[in-house]
Amino acid sequence: AASTCGTAPTRTHCGQTSRCGRRGREHVCVFEARPGARLRSCVRGRRVGPMAAPAVERAEALAAASVDDVAGVIAASMGLPGAPPMPQHEANVWLSEFSRLERAWEVALTLVATPEVVAEVQFFAANMLLSKVRVSWQASSDEVRAMVYGALMERLQVVVAGDVAYTDAVLKRIVLAIASAAAMSGGETLATFVAQSLGLASESASAASVRLCFDLVEALAHETLNRPHVHKSHTVAALGEHMVSLLGLAEGVLAGATDALVVACCKCLEACVPAGVTLGNLQRHRPSVLAGVLACLGADSADVFNAAVDVVLTLLGDAAAVLAPGAAPRGSEDGSSGEEAPSGVEVEEASAGVAAVVDGLLAQRPRFDAAVASSNAELCRGLCRIAVAIGEAALEALAAGDERATGVIDILLECTQHESMDIRMLPLDFWPRLGRVDVSARAEHLQNPLFRSVLERVLRACVYPGEGEEEVDEEDFMPFRERQAAECLEVCFSELGAECTQYLSGVLEHAETGDGGWQAAEVVLFAARCCKLPIRSMLRTANPDEGFVAAQREVAAFLRRLFDLIGSKAPVVCAHPKVIAAAVRCVASFAALVAKQGDAVDGVVGYVASALMVPDARKFAAEAFRTICVHCAARFCSDDALRELAETGEAAVGAGLTGSPRESYMGGLAQIVAASPPELVFGRLSRVVAATMERLVGCLDEAAGPAQTRAAVACVELGVLGAALRFGGGGVEVPAGAAHPVVALLESVFETLEAVAGALGRDRAVADALSEVARNTLQGARDYGQAVLPQLCSLALGLFDAHGHRSCLDVIGEVVESYGEVAVADAGLGGSLSSSFAAVCARCIAIAEADPQGVRGVYEVLGGLFTLARQFVMYAPTLLLALPEVEALLQLAAACADHEDRQQAVAALHFVRHLALLASKADETSAAALAHLGGASAALVPAVVCVLADPRMAQVHTPAANALYAVVGALGGVDEATIGAAFDAAAPRAKPGALTDAVAGAFARAALSADAAGHDEGAFTAICSDFAALCRGGEGRGVLAAYA
């Protein structure tokens, strides 16, 4: 009767029902009343847990509940004083069941209409009405809809007459419910509603009536125009008939009315933008309305100011869509509606509207300057948002750089250095967009001079505070620097070139003298890293121009200066963990350039190695070390250098170096070893991993701690060993007859790995780590890996047989994919792999049969099995097709094709498709593949058709269509019995109307795309239409035959 659906939790109880669509069935999601409470249950018509009762008695009790009973349960659900003694959870479940009854309409309306009912209960009842209108209106009878709509309109009349005073929250819900009901009814009801709403604002109407008029129109627009709605076009038409009256009313209100009324007017105008209240239309037909909105930007009331800002932003957003190059047609999201793109008149009107907004913004410049001086963040934020929106709507006009454009850009510059971080962030997306405008289209003062100012301001905003200054919030500061600020700095270098590094050099000199402190050095290192792509591109570019060559030299000199400071461990780059982290990250970004710095490299690597002891810099230092070793590993091949680096790594392990940073450092050491003379590689590699193996052996001692702790340690050590195996063999020239050092190392530690697998392999993380060791070995040994294939496969298959971990299958798959059928056979593994795969199939089928409901582990194992089978089909088909288990595997694939675990279903369908494609080839393997496929077709075809007929399996439709086409094509058609079975099985799954002709037809088009050119267009369209009929649940037994 109940299940958890995973719908996102709500923070407050509002009485609103929702549909989560779990398994295609609709049910009510019930939430706790406490703020932040978690989802409790999803109820389908019966009580849960301790509330269990016979369904008939339960239904009778709900139907007999009085209005007072319902009010009491609502009070209990909300924890109101004086509520009946009823647990909140029980009250929530009761209300969710009651809200689905038809009688809930009447009870909710009564509660809303009763003045004595407390406001909280009235709010709940009004929200219940709104929810039922949105969800159940179309399914209700005409009588019920007429009763509810009439009662809601009666409430509206009572409010207008002043006989009842609802709280704002209750009245808003009532207004939304009326507007939603009118919108869902459409036709004459909708048109009458709009006329009645505007009729409330007659010349003699009170301010409350006029505000109610705006609220009703806003609610209607909110319910229809800003979301998919069946009557959206009707709403636009109804509002269009009265738009002159609405704008005339707005004009009068904006000219002089109470703040509350002006706010309501602005919200109404904002909601009506999709109905034609656009910037261009206002500027051409009602400029006084636009002027009134812009004048509100100077209002003293914060509510009026913010409402005006929201209107202007929405208008500018609409104008940006019109003015954008290649703008989509009006009312369309992708330009596919068939309507015409914006006309030249529309573009001209939108441009004029944007110009009016620019004038309105610049009129507030004195107020903006005063707000900056007085730290009025709210006003600065609002005006800055408008300036940014102008930049989005009219970028080219701003780039032209006239006086008005310069005024807007000055506001953005000022905001770039604002004391409030959230304001500093607003204009940072504008500068890269401006920088991408061609230089020839930009005014001269919007080229280098402007971006020099942007560079100064952005750098200043990125500096960490000094001693005695307020600390920054790292959660906000780091994203600000790493995202928006980083992109700005990159654009600044692209614009300024060597002039940018000149400025950074000046800041660095300031830091070296001690005036700027470590903060100045850190921001220079940060900026250099942000500019790594344009800097590296500049230094690689061959350009004979003398000015460009001089700029290249200057940039290279700047980098050398940075590397010299780092290599010499100057105090300014060692003064704080953050500057150390910035330095090693900068080194990693320019590792190839660092490698060319001669003797300075030794000092830089020493600095990076010492940074391993700094917690904040540790992971960056390890990655920087590995990256440098990619470019100059041979420089550190001496015994003394390698020993020193290894000892530094071990000391860092004692200080907390672990996980992926430790693997990165080991990768660097392994690359140094691989660059050593071939005869020394194995010995050095063994010494480098000696401490790792010692700790790994220690994990086998039960006295060393609990199994879980030892498993965690083993995972870390296996990761480090894997890094050594992966990077320790690259480029090694193996003498004839000698073993590859990676192969030799694996053989020397294999006994320990088997012991770890036996003792700790039950832990999934350990199994994954062992599998990763195997894959790293294959990558490290490359062409020499065949020698250890038997051991790797034995390790993986043994682990899988004992514990059934998915990652073990991935190892076998990588062996097959990396070496193929011939190499596997040369290694003597053909028979072993075939028998092993047969054992894997049997094991997976046994797992699935033992747990038919399927736990997550089973999903993964079956997905791994199908992925492995597909790899065999592609790279070792002869080994696979010789197995009698293939047909059982196909039967299992049919069972899993429509499984609720989508990844498993996709893996099964990919395997089926590749086997069918193999069967279609004219070679020695096709006959065996076709025989297996024919034996399973009676199960496969209906299973795949069921997937295509089920709208809940939309994520799987494309691979299913491809698999079906491949199977039917390989078989050359299927018999009538299979066709009948397919459609008999699919019929209950299909949901009429769930898929449109275009969407359903797309499945057929995707599958037939390869052959579409050869089809008669009419016949091809007919095939797609027939296929679409199946997806809609239509009669179509001949569809599959036509499809084939």
Q: Work out the average pLDDT over 188-209.
A: 85
pLDDT confidence bin for 139, thresholds 50/70/90: confident
Cα–Cα dist 166/85, whole Å: 28
Tell me which DSSP letter residue 595 carries. Answer: T
Q: What is the pLDDT of residue 989?
A: 60
Q: Above 50 in pLDDT, residue 338? A: no
Query: Which position has the higher pLDDT, 491 or 62?
Result: 491
Sequence-distant (6+) residues with CB within 8 A of 579 are 518, 519, 521, 522, 525, 572, 573
End-to-end CA distance of the chain: 43
Q: Above 70 in pLDDT, residue 8? A: no
CA distances from 723 to 8, 687, 700, 777, 1044 (A): 41, 14, 21, 9, 51
For residue 628, the SS3 value is: helix
Residues facing 41 on adjacent strands: 30
Q: What is the pLDDT of residue 858?
A: 64
CA distances from 608 to 65, 342, 504, 545 (A): 75, 58, 22, 37
Q: What is the 3-state secondary structure (H, E, C) of 572-589?
A: HHCCCHHHHHHHHHHHHH
Rounded to 5 degrees, φ, ψ at 349 are -65, -40
Q: Above 70 in pLDDT, residue 994? A: no
Q: What is the pLDDT of residue 1004?
A: 54
pLDDT confidence bin for 1007, thresholds 50/70/90: very low
Cα–Cα dist 374/420, whole Å: 13
Q: What is the pLDDT of residue 83?
A: 83
pLDDT confidence bin for 799, thresholds 50/70/90: confident
Q: Above 70 in pLDDT, residue 697? A: yes
pLDDT confidence bin for 340, thresholds 50/70/90: low
> Which of 180-189, 946-955, 1012-1021 has the weakest average pLDDT?
1012-1021
Q: What is the pLDDT of residue 829?
A: 66
Cα–Cα dist 176/694, whole Å: 70
Q: What is the pLDDT of residue 996?
A: 45
CA angle 1018–1024–1028, rounded 5-degree value: 140
How much of the chain, in percent, has pLDDT values that exceed 70? 83
Cα–Cα dist 398/358, whole Å: 10
Q: Work out the average pLDDT over 696-723.
A: 91
> What count of other Cβ atoms lies within 10 Å of the Cβ of residue 965?
23
Cα–Cα dist 232/275, whole Å: 9
Q: Which of 286, 288, 290 lies closest to 315, judged by CA?
A: 290
- For every residue of 850-911, DSSP letters joined together read H-TT--HHHHHHHHHHHHHHHHHHHH-HHHHHT-THHHHHHHHHHHHTT-S-HHHHHHHHHH
Most confident option among 799-808, 928-937, 1002-1011: 928-937
Sequence-distant (6+) residues with CB within 8 A of 905 are 896, 897, 898, 899, 947, 953, 956
For residue 170, the SS3 value is: helix
> What count of other Cβ atoms lies within 10 Å of the Cβ of residue 553?
12
CA distances from 750 to 774, 816, 829 (A): 11, 21, 19
Tell me which DSSP letter residue 328 carries. Answer: P
Sequence-distant (6+) residues with CB within 8 A of 419 are 375
Q: Work out the average pLDDT over 187-208.
A: 85
Q: What is the pLDDT of residue 1040?
A: 45
Q: Above 50 in pLDDT, residue 379? A: yes
Stretch (H or E) spanning 31: strand 28-31
Q: Above 90 in pLDDT, residue 606? A: yes
Q: What is the pLDDT of residue 471?
A: 80
Rounded to 5 degrees, φ, ψ at 471 are -70, 150
Q: What is the pLDDT of residue 37?
A: 32
Q: Above 90 in pLDDT, residue 32? A: no
Q: CA neighbours within 13 Å on the CB side: how many for 422?
A: 7
Rounded to 5 degrees, φ, ψ at 28 are -95, 130
| pLDDT tens-digit map of 279-288 | 888 988 889 9
Q: What is the pLDDT of residue 549?
A: 93
pLDDT confidence bin for 993, thresholds 50/70/90: very low
Q: Work out the average pLDDT over 184-202.
A: 86
Dmax (CA) for the chain in angstroms is 105
Q: What is the pLDDT of residue 529?
A: 95
Amino acid at residue number 165? A
Q: How many residues does the chain have?
A: 1044
| pLDDT tens-digit map of 531-540 | 999 999 999 9
Sign of the four-CA dihedral 362, 367, 373, 379: negative
Q: CA neighbours within 13 Å on the CB side: how many for 556?
A: 15
CA angle 112–114–115, rounded 5-degree value: 105
Alpha helix locations (H) across 99-167? 103-113, 119-136, 142-161
- Starting at the edge strand that comes first in sequence, how are the strands of the sheet with 39-43 ordered? 2-3, 39-43, 28-31
> What count of other Cβ atoms lies within 10 Å of the Cβ of residue 336?
10
Cα–Cα dist 593/408, whole Å: 41
Q: Above 70 in pLDDT, residue 317? A: yes
Cβ proximity of 630 and 727 under 8 Å:
no
Sign of the four-CA dihedral 977, 978, 981, 982: negative
Stretch (H or E) spanning 214: helix 207-224
Query: Which position has the higher pLDDT, 926 or 1?
Result: 926
Q: Work out the average pLDDT over 623-649.
A: 92
| pLDDT tens-digit map of 912-963 | 999 999 988 877 788 888 888 888 888 888 888 778 777 677 778 778 888 8
Query: Which position has the higher pLDDT, 997 or 457?
Result: 457
pLDDT confidence bin for 9, thresholds 50/70/90: very low
Q: Above 90 in pLDDT, residue 551? A: yes
Radius of gyration of the chain (CA): 36
Cα–Cα dist 709/416, whole Å: 50
| pLDDT tens-digit map of 580-600 | 999 999 999 999 999 988 888
Tell me which DSSP letter residue 339 carries. Answer: P
Sequence-distant (6+) residues with CB within 8 A of 77 are 13, 33, 88, 91, 92, 95, 124
Burial annotation 224-256 (CB, 10 A radius, 16+ → b, else e):
bbeeebebbebbbebbeebbeebbebbbbbbee
Q: What is the pLDDT of residue 764?
A: 85
| pLDDT tens-digit map of 489-524 | 999 999 999 999 999 999 999 888 877 789 999 999
Rounded to 5 degrees, φ, ψ at 851 are -135, 75
Q: Above 70 in pLDDT, residue 1017? A: no
For residue 895, the SS3 value is: helix
Mean pLDDT of the chain: 81
Cα–Cα dist 582/570, whole Å: 14
pLDDT confidence bin for 90, thresholds 50/70/90: confident
Q: Work out the average pLDDT over 647-676.
A: 91
Q: Which residue carries 């339960």 as its tokens?
A: 58
Q: Work out the average pLDDT over 7-28.
A: 35
Cα–Cα dist 119/580, whole Å: 59
Cα–Cα dist 557/565, whole Å: 12
| pLDDT tens-digit map of 821-839 | 777 777 666 666 677 677 7
CA distances from 327 to 174, 275, 324, 696 (A): 38, 18, 5, 62
| pLDDT tens-digit map of 723-772 | 998 888 776 777 776 778 888 888 898 899 989 988 888 888 998 899 89
Q: Above 60 in pLDDT, residue 999? A: no
Q: Which of 413, 418, 487, 419 lies closest to 450, judged by CA?
A: 413
Cα–Cα dist 347/335, whole Å: 17
| pLDDT tens-digit map of 380-402 | 999 999 999 999 998 999 999 89
